[in-house]
C-alpha cells in the first residue's frame, strides 16, 4: 500500500466533530475511489477507527467536503458524508446541522470567502438536500473568532454564537414534509402495531411515542444503549418507515443501504428529568422530551437537523410529536414560534418562521438554531489505499 497525503481540518461544530476537506482535494476521483479515500482517512470499517482520524462514534465520524460556488447568491457549497464505523460505506443520504455551523468557518479560514468583520454572513448550499443555509459568523481580523459567551448543551465552555438559518427546510431528502402524505402511519414491531409520524425537515425522522415502546422519554444514552430490546424495536420502526418514505425499496435493507436516514426518535410530554451530568431540567422549560438514535446507536445529545424536524413536527396537526408537545397558546396566531426540546444533556431551542394553511401541514419558511464551533487542527493527513 502507498501512503498518500491530503490536506484537512478537524473542526468541532456544535456537538459533532468532523474532517473538513476542500473540493479540490478530491477532484478527479470517481465516487467509488473518493469513498475509498474517505474510509481509509477515517480508519473505517473499524469500531475504534484506530488507524484513521475517526473518533469511534457516529457523531465524530463525519466528513464535510466544501467548495466555492458559482450558483447565484451562494458563497459556499458543501457535501456531508456520514462515515460508517462497521461497514465500508459513506452515507450521503442527509446532512449534519451541527457541522453545518462550521462550514462557513472553514471557508473563511481557508480563504475561499472574505470575512466582513465583525459579523460575516454567508449563504451556503447543501448539495445533499439542495437547500440553502444562511450562517452568521463572528469574525475578527478576517478570520473566524471562536471566543464568545454562548454555551450549548453537550459542549464544555463557551464560544462565539453562530446562527444558522435553514431556508425552506421541508422535504430536503424525500421531497415532501410528510413523505407519505399522512401525519400518522403504522409500523409493526413484533405483534405490536405502533403509530408513527414520518416527517422530513432538514433530515427525515420517524417519530414514535415513547410509551408505545415501553419507554419514558427520559432515558440516558447509557440506559438506552443497554436496552437491546428497545434498540431493536426502534430499528424495526426505522426500517419500516424507510420503506414507507421510499428511501429504501425493501424491508430489512435500511441498515445496509441507508443507515443514516431516516433517523428514529421517541418523544413524550414534558416532565422534569436530570441530564447525564445531573443537572435538573424542568418540564416548564421545554415543549417536548425527545431521544434519538444515530447509526443504530443512542445519540449522546440530539442532532440539529433532527431538532429542526422535531420542532416542525410539533406544529403539524395529528403527528405523534404534536400530540406529545406542550405549546403555549395557539402557535397559528404567530408567524414565529420557538420550540425547546429536552434531550439527554440539556435543551435545544429551534426558532421557526411559519406560514399556516387552512388544511394540511404548515409551510416552514425558515428554521434557526444557534451553535458554537472551533478549529481543532489543520494540516496534512495521511491515508493508505
CA-to-CA dists, residue 160 to 143, 147, 212, 317, 349, angstroms: 13, 5, 40, 36, 17
* Residue 334 pLDDT exceeds 70: no
Q: Which residue has the cell 466533530?
A: 17
Q: How far apart are CA 287 and CA 295, in angstroms?
A: 26
**Mean pLDDT for the stretch of residues 340-357:** 95
CA-to-CA dists, residue 166 to 184, 315, 361, 373, angstroms: 25, 17, 18, 17
* Residue 285 pLDDT exceeds 70: yes
Q: How far apart are CA 27 and CA 352, in angstroms?
A: 37
Query: How many structural domains compose the chain?
Result: 2
* Residue 138 pLDDT exceeds 80: yes
What pLDDT is recorded for position 357? 80
The answer to whether residues 257 and 228 belong to one domain is yes
The answer to whether residues 154 and 229 belong to one domain is no
What pLDDT is recorded for position 2? 81
Domain containing 132: what range?
Answer: 3-168+372-384
Is residue 276 domain-resident? yes
Is residue 361 domain-resident? no
The answer to whether residues 196 and 278 belong to one domain is yes
What is the chain's percent helix, strand, coil content, to nearest 5? 20, 35, 40
The CATH number for 18's domain is 3.10.310.10
What pLDDT is recorded for position 359? 76
Residue 259 and residue 239 in contact, taking contact as beta carbons nearer than 8 Å: no
Please write the tens of the pLDDT for every residue from 151-166: 999 999 999 999 999 9
The answer to whether residues 198 and 308 belong to one domain is yes
In degrees and rounded to multiples of 5, residue 231 shows phi and psi of -60, -45
CA distance between the termini of the chain: 6
Is residue 363 domain-resident? no
Q: How confident is the model at residue 331 (pLDDT cuts 50, 70, 90)?
A: low
The answer to whether residues 189 and 214 belong to one domain is yes
Is residue 32 domain-resident? yes
What pLDDT is recorded for position 106? 98
Q: How confident is the model at residue 217 (pLDDT cuts 50, 70, 90)?
A: very high
Residues in the chain: 385
- Structure-block grid coordinates of residue 105: 468557518
CA-to-CA dists, residue 317 to 269, 275, 306, 338, angstroms: 16, 29, 18, 17
The answer to whether residues 23 and 134 belong to one domain is yes
Q: How confident is the model at residue 118 (pLDDT cuts 50, 70, 90)?
A: very high
Q: Which residue has the cell 441498515?
A: 255
- From 48-52, 65-69, 141-145, 359-363, the region with the lowest mean pLDDT: 359-363
**Mean pLDDT for the stretch of residues 289-298:** 95
Q: How far apart are CA 243 and CA 211, in angstroms?
A: 23
The answer to whether residues 19 and 60 belong to one domain is yes
Is residue 173 domain-resident? no
What pLDDT is recorded for position 328? 80
* Residue 345 pLDDT exceeds 80: yes
**Mean pLDDT for the stretch of residues 123-147:** 96
The answer to whether residues 78 and 156 belong to one domain is yes
The alpha carbon of residue 341 and the mean position of all alpha carbons in its chain are separated, in whole angstroms, by: 14
Q: Quickly count: other Cβ atoms within 10 Å of residue 365's Cβ.
A: 17
Is residue 63 domain-resident? yes
**Mean pLDDT for the stretch of residues 4-19:** 97
Q: How confident is the model at residue 344 (pLDDT cuts 50, 70, 90)?
A: very high
Please write the tens of the pLDDT for every residue from 361-382: 889 999 999 999 999 999 999 9
Cα 302–Cα 20–Cα 138 angle in degrees, nearest 5: 75
Q: How confident is the model at residue 360 (pLDDT cuts 50, 70, 90)?
A: confident
Residue 336 and residue 351 in contact, taking contact as beta carbons nearer than 8 Å: yes
Q: Which H or E run includes 27?
A: none
The answer to whether residues 105 and 226 belong to one domain is no
The answer to whether residues 350 and 247 belong to one domain is yes
Q: Which of 51, 52, 47, 133 is nearest to 86 (CA)?
A: 47
What pLDDT is recorded for position 307? 97
The answer to whether residues 232 and 302 belong to one domain is yes
Is residue 144 domain-resident? yes
What pLDDT is recorded for position 333? 64
Is residue 364 domain-resident? no
Sequential DSSP letters for 53-81: S--SSGGGSEEEEEEE--STT-SEEEEEE
Buried/exposed code over 135-149 (b: 16+ C-beta within 10 A; e: otherwise) = bbbbbeeeebbbeee
Residue 273 and residue 216 in contact, taking contact as beta carbons nearer than 8 Å: no
**Mean pLDDT for the stretch of residues 88-101:** 96
The answer to whether residues 144 and 274 belong to one domain is no
Amino acid at each position: 500500500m502507498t501512503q498518500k497525503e491530503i490536506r484537512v481540518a478537524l473542526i468541532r461544530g456544535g456537538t459533532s466533530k468532523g474532517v473538513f476537506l476542500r473540493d479540490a482535494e478530491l477532484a478527479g476521483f470517481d465516487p467509488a475511489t473518493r469513498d475509498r479515500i474517505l474510509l481509509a482517512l477515517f480508519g473505517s470499517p473499524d469500531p475504534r477507527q484506530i488507524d484513521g482520524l475517526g473518533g469511534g462514534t457516529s457523531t465524530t465520524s463525519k466528513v464535510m467536503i466544501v467548495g466555492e460556488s458559482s450558483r447565484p447568491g451562494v458563497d459556499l457549497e458543501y457535501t456531508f458524508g456520514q462515515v460508517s464505523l462497521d461497514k465500508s460505506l459513506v452515507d450521503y443520504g442527509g446532512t449534519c446541522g451541527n457541522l453545518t455551523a462550521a462550514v462557513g468557518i472553514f471557508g473563511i479560514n481557508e480563504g475561499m470567502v472574505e470575512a466582513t468583520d465583525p459579523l460575516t454572513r454567508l449563504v451556503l448550499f447543501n448539495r445533499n438536500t439542495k437547500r440553502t443555509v444562511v450562517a452568521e459568523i463572528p469574525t475578527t481580523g478576517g478570520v473566524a473568532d471562536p471566543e464568545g459567551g454562548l454555551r450549548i448543551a453537550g459542549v464544555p465552555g463557551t464560544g462565539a454564537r453562530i446562527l444558522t438559518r435553514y431556508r425552506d427546510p421541508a422535504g430536503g431528502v424525500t421531497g415532501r414534509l410528510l413523505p407519505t402524505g399522512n401525519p400518522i402511519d403504522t409500523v409493526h414491531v413484533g405483534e405490536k402495531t405502533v403509530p408513527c409520524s414520518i416527517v422530513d425537515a432538514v433530515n427525515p425522522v420517524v417519530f414514535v411515542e415513547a410509551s408505545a415502546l415501553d419507554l419514558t422519554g427520559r432515558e440516558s444514552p447509557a440506559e438506552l444503549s443497554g436496552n437491546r430490546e428497545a434498540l431493536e424495536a426502534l430499528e424495526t420502526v426505522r426500517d419500516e418507515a424507510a420503506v414507507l418514505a421510499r428511501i429504501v425499496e425493501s424491508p430489512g435493507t435500511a441498515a445496509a443501504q441507508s443507515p443514516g436516514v431516516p433517523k428514529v426518535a421517541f418523544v413524550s410530554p414534558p416532565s422534569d428529568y436530570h441530564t447525564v451530568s445531573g443537572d435538573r431540567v424542568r418540564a416548564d422549560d421545554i415543549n417536548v422530551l425527545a431521544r434519538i438514535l444515530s447509526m443504530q446507536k443512542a445519540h449522546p445529545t440530539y442532532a440539529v437537523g433532527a431538532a429542526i424536524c422535531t420542532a416542525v413536527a410539533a406544529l403539524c396537526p395529528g403527528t405523534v410529536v404534536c400530540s406529545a408537545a406542550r405549546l403555549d397558546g395557539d402557535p397559528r396566531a404567530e408567524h414565529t414560534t420557538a420550540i425547546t426540546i429536552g434531550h439527554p444533556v440539556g435543551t435545544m431551542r429551534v426558532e421557526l418562521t411559519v406560514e399556516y394553511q387552512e388544511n394540511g401541514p404548515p409551510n416552514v419558511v425558515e428554521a434557526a438554531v444557534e451553535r458554537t464551533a472551533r478549529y481543532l487542527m489543520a494540516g496534512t493527513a495521511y491515508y493508505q489505499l
